[in-house]
Structure 1
Amino acid sequence: MLIYILVACDRLEEKREKKLRQSLPELQAALQAYADENAAHKVTLINDCESDDCEDWQLGISQPATKKIHLNPPVDLFNRLAEQHGIDCEVGYVEDDTREPVSYFGKYEGKGEAFLIAEYLGL
């Protein structure tokens, strides 16, 4: 199964949008580093932040996952980023090139738990 985790960029209050814009370079660098370090596991960076409207941004990673344990590293990474940068995250799976969200976690939604997310994904 191909899963994804994105930084939640839509429907943000003005204050949170401003913080996201300020944190963007650090978030991009952290996600690029994670993708580079895990290239052997087919982790792919999702980085479409060209729009002036952050509501249109797509920032995160995708990777194959067949076992619950495969979710621990990316969920830990996004939990750390959520604490550092005050973001929430969307997690789901990709089917027929369409993203299907299954859960949200982060600074405001609450810490993500890889075991529960794996259950939502059906792993």
Structure 2
Amino acid sequence: MLIYLLIACDRLDEKQEKKLKQNLSELLAALTAYVDANEANDVTLINECDSDDCEQWQLGISQPVKKNIHLNFPVNLFNSLARKYDIDCEVGYIEDDTREPVSYFGKQEGAGEAFLIAEYLGL
């Protein structure tokens, strides 16, 4: 199953958008480091932040998973980013090049739990 985790960039107030834009380079660096470290696992970077409007941004990763244990590292990464940068995250699966969200976690939603996310994904 191909899953994705994104930083929630939509429905932000003005203060949240400003903070996200200020932290974009650091967030991108953290995601790039994770992708580089997991290149053998076919982890790819999702970086669609060309617009001036945060609402249209897509920033995160995608990776194949076969077992729920494979979710531990990416969920932990996004939990740490959520704590550090006061963001929320979206997780879901990709089917026929379409992203289908299954759960949200982070600053507002609370920490993500890999076991529960695996259940939502049907792993």
Flag whether TM exceeds 0.5 (same fold): yes
Alignment match, 1:5: 5
Alignment match, 1:94: 94
Matched residue SS, 1:32? helix
| Whole-Å separation in 2 of the counterparts to 1:33 and 1:69 | 21
Q: Any gaps of 5 or more consecutive residues in structure 2?
A: none
Query: How far off is 1:78 after superposition?
Result: 0.2
Matches within 5 A, 1:14-93: 14-93=14-93
Q: TM-score scaled by structure 2?
A: 0.99
Structure 1 stretches of 4+ moved >4 Å: none
| Whole-Å separation in 2 of the counterparts to 1:109 and 1:23 | 20
Query: How far off is 1:11 after superposition?
Result: 0.6
Alignment match, 2:107: 107
RMSD: 0.4
| Whole-Å separation in 2 of the counterparts to 1:19 and 1:83 | 14
Query: How far off is 1:15 after superposition?
Result: 1.0
Query: How far off is 1:54 after superposition?
Result: 0.7
Residue identity in the other structure for 1:59: L
Q: Any gaps of 5 or more consecutive residues in structure 1?
A: none
Number of aligned residue pairs: 123
Query: How far off is 1:109 after superposition?
Result: 0.7
Query: How far off is 1:57 after superposition?
Result: 0.4
| Whole-Å separation in 2 of the counterparts to 1:88 and 1:23 | 14
